[in-house]
Amino acid sequence: MKKIVISTGGGDAPGLNAVIYAVVHSCYRRGWEVYGSRSGYGGLMNVDEMIRLTLKDVEGIYATGGTILGSTNKGNPFSKPVENLAGEIQIVDISDKILRNFNRMKFDCHIAIGGDGSLEIAHRFAQKGMPVIGVPKTIDNDLMATSRTFGFDTAVATATDAIDKLHSTAKSHDRVMVVEVMGRDSGWIALYSGISGGADVILIPEIPFDIEQVCDKIADNALHDKHYAIVVVAEGAVTSDGKAFNRGSGELGREEVILGGVGEWVANEIRKRTDKDTRSLVLGHLQRGGTPTTFDRLLALRFGAAAVRMIEQRTFDHMVALSNSRMIAVPIAEAIMARKKVNLDDDKVLTAREIGICLGDSGIEMPIS
């Protein structure tokens, strides 16, 4: 019999509960006990935040958004701000206390579901001797180590649904609608939802855009008797002449940082330059919520089941990943470093150009591969 503790950390991604569901069921089959640590490491700091998870507790949660464990950020255990008696804030390292609690409760493994921040902390605990298995969570789908992460498909579905809704209004009113979607460093959500939603323009961090190219595309639409346009912008998109936006990348070396979201800026410029009635919308947190899609449920369930198999194989300090339709284990330390950006010769980029979508760049003829 083994005792497993599971935690969720960082931002929301539909599918977190499905991972928990699979872990609890897979452990049940083996006669193991599962405990949930609330609010990240909360349950390992304070035993009152630790809850026993039975089959009954996880009934039906594979289909729900959010996480039953909560993921309020209670800070990094290796450098946690604590108020001392004098009322001053001190940074303390409480990792030893957490490790002691982990051992005292006789846990055999910690399954940490989280983004790069949470996984890095998990890796540091692994180095201190805690048997840790990671499950990657990033709604942006930008981890090199795994071909897909859960939550992304749901975010793209929500964004595409919003674009679909805006289409009818844009068309009826000869309007330009600018939709800002998530993606600070990578344009995956914008690219997927923009192509699927029939966007005219898609702007992503990987391809700095020229607003004149965008306006040219909108003007070109009119030649085909299409007097409206849909522009999808990743929040981290930047201009080719060096403008970044404060909800955007904040990347060093940018000459100019504009206050306000990039979507609003793009909408204002289009309005000024084309005289078209132009509106903008920020999808924001809608993309992180809701019932996970079939794809995300299935992937998250597979991640959870594979994580439990990894305990048996004792491949600790590793993270579960999807590679060529198979579950594999990759060292956490490696996994969290390499980010996956949209590559200009990716087939999706090629498809976008071929079906006439403007990507904001100088319109260089794409190579017909």
DSSP codes joined into one string, 207-237: S-B-HHHHHHHHHHHHHTT---EEEEEETT-
Of 144 and 327, CB closest to its own copies = 327
Strands 3-8 and 33-37: parallel
Q: Which stretch binds its own copies (CB under 8 A): 208-216, 235-243, 255-263, 273-281?
A: 273-281
296 near 152, Cβ under 8 Å?
A: yes
Q: Could you give the string, one character per residue 214-243, with x where binding to its own copies holds by CB under 8 A and - elsewhere?
A: ----------xxx-----------------
Pick one of 94, 305, 330, 359: the residue that binds its own copies (CB under 8 A): 305
Backbone angles phi, psi at 229, to 5 degrees: -155, 150
Residue 11, marked binder: yes
- Taking CB under 8 A as the rule, does residue 314 contact its own copies? no
d(CA 18, CA 33): 18
Of 29 and 97, CB closest to its own copies = 29
- Taking CB under 8 A as the rule, does residue 166 contact its own copies? yes
Residue 117: enclosing H or E segment and its boundaries?
helix 116-127
Specify whether 164 is catalytic. Answer: no
d(CA 279, CA 120): 40
Kindly state the smallest distance separating residue 363's Cβ from its own copies, in Å: 12
Segment 33 to 92, residues that bind its own copies, using CB under 8 A: 55-56, 59-60, 62-67, 70-72
- The number of helix segments (H) and strand segments (E) in the chain equals 11, 15
User: How far from 214 is each of 56, 314, 332, CA to CA, in Å?
Assistant: 53, 53, 40
Q: Which stretch binds its own copies (CB under 8 A): 82-90, 106-114, 206-214, 353-361?
A: 353-361
Q: Which stretch binds its own copies (CB under 8 A): 85-93, 202-210, 252-260, 319-327?
A: 319-327
d(CA 195, CA 349): 9
Of 12 and 235, CB closest to its own copies = 12
Residue 365, marked binder: no
360 near 207, Cβ under 8 Å?
A: yes
Residue 127, marked binder: no
Crossing angle for the helix pair 95-104 and 116-127, nearest 10 degrees?
A: 70
Using CB under 8 A, count the residues that bind its own copies. Answer: 87
Of 164 and 269, CB closest to its own copies = 164
65 near 291, Cβ under 8 Å?
A: yes
Could you tell me which of 267, 187, 3 has the C-alpha nearest to residue 109? Answer: 3
Q: Which stretch binds its own copies (CB under 8 A): 88-96, 101-109, 128-136, 158-166?
A: 158-166
Residue 363: enclosing H or E segment and its boundaries?
none
- Taking CB under 8 A as the rule, does residue 167 contact its own copies? yes
Of the residues 12, 140, 200, 317, only one is catalytic, namely 140
Pick one of 96, 256, 334, 354: the residue that binds its own copies (CB under 8 A): 354
d(CA 104, CA 106): 5
Residue 235, marked binder: yes
Kindly state the smallest distance separating residue 22's Cβ from its own copies, in Å: 5
Quick one: how far is CA 264 from the chain centroid?
22
Segment 274 to 303, residues that bind its own copies, using CB under 8 A: 277, 279, 281-282, 284-286, 288-290, 293-295, 297-298, 301-302
Q: Which stretch binds its own copies (CB under 8 A): 194-202, 235-243, 265-273, 332-340?
A: 194-202
**Terminal C-alpha separation, the chain:** 55
Of 7 and 95, CB closest to its own copies = 7
d(CA 218, CA 201): 9
Segment 322 to 351, residues that bind its own copies, using CB under 8 A: 324-327, 347-348, 350-351
Annotated binding residues for ATP:
11, 74-75, 115-118
Annotated binding residues:
11, 74-75, 115-118, 138-140, 175, 182-184, 235, 279, 285-288
The set of catalytic residues is: 140
